[in-house]
Structure 1
Amino acid sequence: MNTEKNTDRNAVRNTEPAWLLVTRREVVSRITDKSFLIGTLLMVVMIVGFLGFTAWQDEKTETATLGATPDAVAMATAIADNASQVDDRLEVEVVELADDTAAETALRDDEVDAWLHPGDDGWQLTSESSEQESLTDAAQVVVRQQVLADNAAGAGTTVDALEAGSSVSTNFLRGDAEKAAVAEVVGFAFVFLFYFAALIFGMQLASSVIEEKQSRIVEIIAAAIPLRHLLAGKVLGNTALAVIQLLVYLVVGLVGMSFTSYKSYLPALSGPTAWFIGFFLAGFVALACLWAVAGSLASRTEDLQATSTPLTMLMLVMFFGGLSLDGRAQVIASFIPPVSAVVMPKRILAGGVEWWEPLVALGLLAAFAAVTVWVGEKLYRRALLQTGGRVSLRQAWSAAE
């Protein structure tokens, strides 16, 4: 009975495509690897820690003690009453001091953060050794308002009349300042996650190719399955792992963001995030195939640095281009593969992108991935079984099938 069951299992396995067997082997071997699990967990902890710190900062209230001598108590009280209108996370407590000597002593003993007193031309805020930025900003605004109100009353007019036509407002063609800041941070996360995944999984893919080639195991594998199936299984397996890891990071990040003051932007981020996953998939497949070629060109682990240098430089161009490009250069780069894999999602985040632009960019990236896979498959097959030293691209391309 058991023999019949084992025979049935073997029959099922034998009917599976070779590339699927390789894919399953890649996924299982990596997903059960402690280093992979620990690395993923550490990244999750970093994301949670960053979002937790952000949430804590949002709720954090700064308390400042403001010392005032008798001639400044009224102005200090006005600052304490109106400081929250300037900075809603600032609370000011007034400490009345007998005279200037008492004020200086209180500063040296850290009993107060700053001392407010009349100056030669207005008011002066004195601190012990460093400026209290939040308190200074609030004091400047409130003192200006109070002095303007007193001067206006003395002139028989109002502050509104004096300030009529003097205000300068800001506006953005796309959204507001806070939304632009959120888009910038999330855009950086998109670029970093793509670079991180492509580099880590790419190096591991190339290293596994070198190990199989150096140990001559690949010759045994080549006798059992076509090399294109081996390449497809490696690329698909690592792509599946990278996407799984990416989804974990995105879910943790979006869930964590719901506990911060930026949770109102979550609905607006769902569309760009979906686009990013699509661009990530197409771009990663192309780069993974190139990493496999870099591994096949090397005969020893020491050769990988040389064979992967062009690919590493390409990834650095993508990383810094994704972060620094703006304006017309960003628009042009968003249609050029493989840079478009990181630039177009950033443009979608910022807004103002026509509905057809992501579709065209993704189509071009998918076409680039298809060409890369076709060329990479030929280079991989022709270089993988060549031993005796590093293989150049020209030698791999001109080698016999």
Structure 2
Amino acid sequence: MNMLDRPWVLIAEREISTKLRDKTFVGSTLVMLLIVMAATSLPAVLVGKGSAAKIGVVDDAAAKVVQQASATVGGKGYDVVRLADRPAAEKAVTDGDVKAALLPGTDGYVVLGKDQVDSSVESALREAASTIGTAANAAKAGLTPAELHAGTKVEVSLLKPGPLPDLVSHFVNIGLALVFYMTALGFGMMIAQSVVQEKESRVVEILAAAVPIRALLWGKVLGNTVLALAQIVVIAGASLIGLLATDQAAVLEVVAPVAGWFVVFFVLGFVALAGLWAVAGSLATRQEDLGSTTLPGQMILMIPFFFSVFAGTSAKTVASFVPIASSMSMPGRMLTEDVPIWQPLVAIAVLLATTVLIVRIGARLYERTLLQTGRRLGYREALALEAS
């Protein structure tokens, strides 16, 4: 079977080659790479800045260790926060009032953290405890090396073990939703503009005479989906570089399993939206019409994006099963929550069914409106048109 038997492949190749020569497309991709690099580096920068970290203690011995650690770490060091007892320390750590708590242990101290203990804090406290303990023990005569280091062991105890700090999880969650939003919106507008340009220049009439109109639609959807996926791969590479450069390799261990799910949700959601964007272009007769014809597509993207970023847990759970919204909400939930496997599978099934329905309706509208060049059409009017 040659290419002439698959005209949609030729259209897809035309879309890809045209976009790769477009300076605006190349420039926007570079800008997005810079944004992603900044977004992956920002959490590490934020964690490393700000006021002095607060460390909770319940006795004078621990306070002395924290003061010793503060003197050795440089910068703003650590502030000692006196707490009544261990329950009070646990509450302070859980509520985020202190970064960690240094409590008496069976053979030294225990560093109490919420979902994890910052490695620099743990290292500084461990070294300070060892220094103070060794100095005290050395003052005693006739001690063995084991006795000399007695009471300097530091253990880590997490109240709520988690793979990532809350700040990093929040940024990665926003990043996944933002990648889908920006990619779908950027490519969507390019699809709509491409259709209008072809209508204004009458190129579409030549193309429609050579290949079926539906082949024009399938080619545009396929070509832009390939380009979008390629852009996602490049963005993923930029994210990898940013994470490794800021010593956040632990983030990759959590994000990697979710990445495959994100690709599935991305492709299905993007294909559905690509059909709508093509219809938005076919309804218009000039570039100025796109403001109104693309508004539904923009709303379909914008509302789920804000839900996936700012909504509460219950709202995000509901949104993760709603088509299109699930492309932004479900990967984020899988990153920050313990989501049962049946939930993303159900969400994918619902999204797949919706994508098929939207593409079928979009194909009918595209056939009926693509060659309508007299004036801008509305969606209701397009639905009422008879197939040509």
Flag whether TM exceeds 0.5 (same fold). Answer: yes
Q: TM-score range with shorter-chain normalisation?
A: 0.7 to 0.9
The superposition leaves residues 208-262 of structure 1 with CA deviations (integer Å, 9 ceiling, x where unpaired) of: 1111112222111111100000000001111111111011111220232123343
* Match status 1:331 vs 2:317: yes
The superposition leaves residues 24-57 of structure 1 with CA deviations (integer Å, 9 ceiling, x where unpaired) of: 0101111232222222223223333454566667
Does the C-alpha gap of structure 1 residues 205 and 60 become closer, same or farther in structure 2, counting only changes over 3 Å? Answer: same
> What does residue 39 of structure 1 align with?
28
* Match status 1:363 vs 2:349: yes
Following superposition of structure 1 onto structure 2, how do residues 184-199 of structure 1 map, counting pairs within 5 Å?
184-199=170-185
For 1:167, give the aligned amino acid.
A
> What does residue 315 of structure 1 align with?
301
The superposition leaves residues 341-360 of structure 1 with CA deviations (integer Å, 9 ceiling, x where unpaired) of: 10111110012100111111
Instruction: Give TM-score, length-normalised by structure 1.
Output: 0.71
Structure of higher CA gyration radius: 1
Q: How large is the RMSD of aligned CA atoms in angstroms?
A: 3.0
* Match status 1:167 vs 2:89: yes
Does the C-alpha gap of structure 1 residues 267 and 20 become closer, same or farther in structure 2, counting only changes over 3 Å? Answer: same
Deviation at 1:324, TM superposition (A): 1.5
Following superposition of structure 1 onto structure 2, how do residues 345-356 of structure 1 map, counting pairs within 5 Å?
345-356=331-342
Measure, in 2, the Cα distance between the counterparts of 1:87 and 1:247.
45
> What does residue 233 of structure 2 align with?
247
Measure, in 1, the Cα distance between the counterparts of 2:242 and 2:345.
30
Gaps (5+ residues) in structure 2? Answer: 53-61, 95-113, 116-158
Residue 400 of structure 1 aligns to a residue whose secondary structure is: coil
> What does residue 90 of structure 1 align with?
74
The superposition leaves residues 166-199 of structure 1 with CA deviations (integer Å, 9 ceiling, x where unpaired) of: 4334357974394333221111001111110111
For 1:283, give the aligned amino acid.
G
Residue 299 of structure 2 aligns to a residue whose secondary structure is: helix
Gaps (5+ residues) in structure 1? Answer: 1-10, 64-77, 92-133, 146-161
User: Larger deviation: 391-400 or 296-305?
Assistant: 391-400
> What does residue 285 of structure 1 align with?
271
The superposition leaves residues 101-153 of structure 1 with CA deviations (integer Å, 9 ceiling, x where unpaired) of: xxxxxxxxxxxxxxxxxxxxxxxxxxxxxxxxx46x62x54xx59xxxxxxxx
Residue 167 of structure 1 aligns to a residue whose secondary structure is: helix
For 1:390, give the aligned amino acid.
R
Deviation at 1:59, TM superposition (A): 7.3
The superposition leaves residues 311-339 of structure 1 with CA deviations (integer Å, 9 ceiling, x where unpaired) of: 21221101111112222221111111111
In 2, are the aligned partners of 1:290 and 1:376 still within 8 Å (CA)? yes
In 2, are the aligned partners of 1:62 and 1:89 still within 8 Å (CA)? no
Does the C-alpha gap of structure 1 residues 164 and 379 become closer, same or farther in structure 2, counting only changes over 3 Å? Answer: closer
Deviation at 1:284, TM superposition (A): 0.6
Instruction: Give TM-score, length-normalised by structure 2.
Output: 0.73
In 2, are the aligned partners of 1:282 and 1:366 still within 8 Å (CA)? yes
Following superposition of structure 1 onto structure 2, how do residues 369-380 of structure 1 map, counting pairs within 5 Å?
369-380=355-366
Deviation at 1:290, TM superposition (A): 0.4
Question: What percentage of aligned pairs have identical amino acids?
Answer: 37
Deviation at 1:294, TM superposition (A): 0.6
For 1:14, give the aligned amino acid.
L
Measure, in 2, the Cα distance between the counterparts of 1:275 and 1:88.
44
Measure, in 2, the Cα distance between the counterparts of 1:342 and 1:164.
40
Deviation at 1:88, TM superposition (A): 7.7
